[in-house]
Chains A and B, each alone.
Chain A
Amino acid sequence: MAIAVIDYGMGNLSSVRNALRAVGADVRIVQHGHELGGASAIVLPGVGAFGAGMEGLRLRGFADALSREVIERKKPLLGICLGLSLLAEIGHEFGRHLGLGWVPGEVVSLDVASLGLRVPHVGWNEVHGSGTLFRGIPEDSSFYFAHSYHLALRERSWICATTEYGREIACAIEQENIMAVQFHPEKSHRCGLALLANFAALAA
């Protein structure tokens, strides 16, 4: 069965699809929640604002379908960038929005300007990772980031990778079948493809 990539109107999915195909995965882009039933694993990508993202998920029936497939049926999920943010309880981008609420934390702005750092956090940064997604990837490999908000977790047990930008940022999480990354593996050359291959292996 294929890996379903969720299209909820939040940005370009072709990069994610191309990258997953490059590592040999069978990929299908899905436009509505009812199409998730046949998937063996799910990728929630996305760039853009938190509120618009949640609205997109609800409008296309993904909010309920995701809860059924990921929480009840325990299918592997990979959130990417906004797809990581939406797993949180609350997002504070252009207002206060409820997220899917599966991860104990809130999405807050990257407040590092006082440290003389530029926002958004754009570019390649070293990642200290472990767990399923980072299997076989050399420690401190660089991945491509582009974000102005980050996930502030209440429970450190979720964190499987961190990076430094003025402070430590949780940039990947993993608990059972739920995984998510703040950076863009589909734009991170070989290490990114290796990470996607690790995820795709769960769908086999």
Chain B
Amino acid sequence: MLKKRLIPVLLLRNGQLVRSEGFATHQVLGDPVHEVARFNEWAVDELLYLDISEDATILGRADTKVKPETSILAILEAVAARCFMPLTFGGRIRTLNDIRARLERGADKVALGTALVANPTLVTEAARSFGSQSVVAVIDAKRDGDGDFRVVYDHARRTTSWTPALLASRAEELGAGEILLQSVDRDGKAQGYDLALIRSVTAATRVPVIALGGVGSLDHFALAITEGGAAAAAAANIFHFVELSDRRAKRAMALAGVDVRLDLSR
């Protein structure tokens, strides 16, 4: 049987690993290249890097002697060399060449968010050139004043009239092979996933949906799958703050009846 996936998400801001809350607050956690060694050792199911930088500047850290890489592509290359698991890279991707550059440096998939809303042809071109399995459509959703879900983009600063369900269905038509669904309201809040949001999207699509946003405890993960219908449960912050979070989350998911990959020592 196909296993349900558990995916650590690493947020990059100007080359530094950060914690995010509400898409607005960011605290620096460390070095993105060093972290991958830990996740490789844990044999996690896959890794998803999202570059949420506003510009291409790469910053080092004053408190470590680690020399920073010089560009986001150099970071990707260094990460990929240590990563014997599927790797998705997203953020600041605008052209087919941006996609090619990431796949050539070792990403297996690219995640497209702004392009999905602002330049949907890129999704189709990417799927035609590199296959649907290489294209993850990112949908950031926020509840509006009436409590209805709306798709937002550009660091959640711009709102669209799309519902996440409609845009997910559109993304599938355009050729996306997976959907990364992120709740802006739940980002960094540790209250659990927005299950109504996840259900609305999984019911509208046939491609696998990865749920992100809101995990605060290990037993939140299973609900994205059992209640939300997602194929994968993702989170960012908890993987940095909870010891052995991956394997403990896997055990919690298995206890909740989710078929996950447990043969991690192999």
List the interface of chain A (C-beta within 8 A of B). 11-12, 14-15, 18-19, 22, 47-49, 113, 117-126, 137-138, 141-142, 144-148, 164-165, 184, 186-193
Contact = CB atoms under 8 A, between A and B. Distances in A.
B131 A193 contact: no
B84 A19 contact: yes
Contacts of B80: 14-15, 18
Contacts of A19: 84
A123 B5 contact: yes
Given A15-B80, A118-B207, 13 more contacts: A12-B106, A18-B80, A18-B81, A18-B84, A47-B130, A47-B134, A48-B129, A122-B177, A123-B208, A123-B232, A125-B3, A141-B266, A188-B85
A165 B265 CA distance: 24
Given A123-B5, A138-B266, A184 B86 contact: yes
Interface of B: 1-5, 40, 43, 45-46, 77, 80-81, 84-87, 103-108, 128-134, 177-178, 206-208, 231-232, 261, 263, 265-266
The B interface, classified by DSSP as helix, strand, loop or mixed, is loop
B108 A14 contact: no
Given A11-B103, A146-B108, A189-B43, A122 B133 contact: yes
Contact of B84 (A120, A142, A188): A188
Contact of A118 (B84, B133, B206): B206
B131 A49 contact: yes
B129 to A, nearest CB: 8
A187 B86 contact: yes
A117 B207 CA distance: 9
B108 A124 contact: no
Given A118-B208, A188-B84, A189-B43, A147 B266 contact: no
Nearest to B77: A14
17 contacts: A15-B80, A15-B108, A18-B81, A118-B206, A122-B133, A122-B231, A123-B232, A124-B2, A124-B5, A124-B261, A125-B1, A146-B177, A148-B131, A148-B177, A165-B2, A190-B43, A192-B84
Nearest to B129: A48
